[in-house]
Amino acid sequence: MSIPDVSIEIPARVRALAGAAALSPVWLNGIGGLTFHTDDGRYIKWGPHDAEANMRDEAERMRWARQWIVVPEVLAQGQDADHEWLVTAALPGRSAVDARWRDDPRTAVRGVGEALRALHDALPVDECPWSWSPEWRIANAAERGVAVPGDLRTPPPVDRLVVCHGDACMPNTLLDDDGRPLAHVDLAALGTADRWADIAVASMSTTWNFGPGWEDALIEAYGVAPDRERLEYYRRLWNET
């Protein structure tokens, strides 16, 4: 993902959803989806239909998870033949990859590790209606025409079954100005899986945003020792699906 140019063309649907509010572009993703912030305290996500993670699923999961953790309140969700959209209430705090943390990656990385552990401890596995297991992810990939290497069909034994975020990359945790966890966003793939499915991706994403050397710091903040076998497996599964 990247920050779009302020002169980017605003889709008509987004303008309609914004009403009288002013819009500022926030994110542009790899399939052309856009996120805007409104000056009346909302975020509007808009983009083409995504077979991997759609906004209807995201809205449903946020409404469920909001019973136990801090996630955005869903204000509206809809779709037409070509696009989908999601409107949520803005939350305080900044993304863990905000410019605020450019010179202090250690604080941001620690905050994300702590936030991920808190999410895993708070969400009840027995009440979660969705899976994010390797079997589910490989089947989902097949539906999208993605061929997964055969050795990934045999995952390591589950260490601890939790409700995973499903996209625990650094930008999807909000922190306060001191680096303490505040909230989670982008929950379209939330579901039950081994906790290492999230830990592997979260720690790997530190290299994308802050460069090498921070993976184990995030795992330490989560509160476990690195499990190299599970890290390798779940990072490969992420990249292949």
Q: Is the dihedral of CA 126, 237, 167, 130 positive or negative?
A: negative
Cβ 238 vs Cβ 146: under 8 Å: no
Helix (H, G, I), strand (E, B) or coil at 83: strand
Helix or strand holding residue 28 (H, E): strand 23-28
Active site residue 126: no
CB atoms within 10 A of CB 71: 24
Cβ 216 vs Cβ 226: under 8 Å: yes
Measured between alpha carbons, how far is 241 from 13 in angstroms, rounded to an integer?
31
CB atoms within 10 A of CB 111: 25
- Among candidates 81, 92, 102, 108, which has minimal Cα distance to 43? 92
Tokens of 221: 């903040």
Half-sphere exposure of 144 (CA within 13 A, CB side): 15
Helix or strand holding residue 97 (H, E): none
- Selecting among 39, 98, 167, 178, the annotated active-site residue is 167
Active site residues: 167
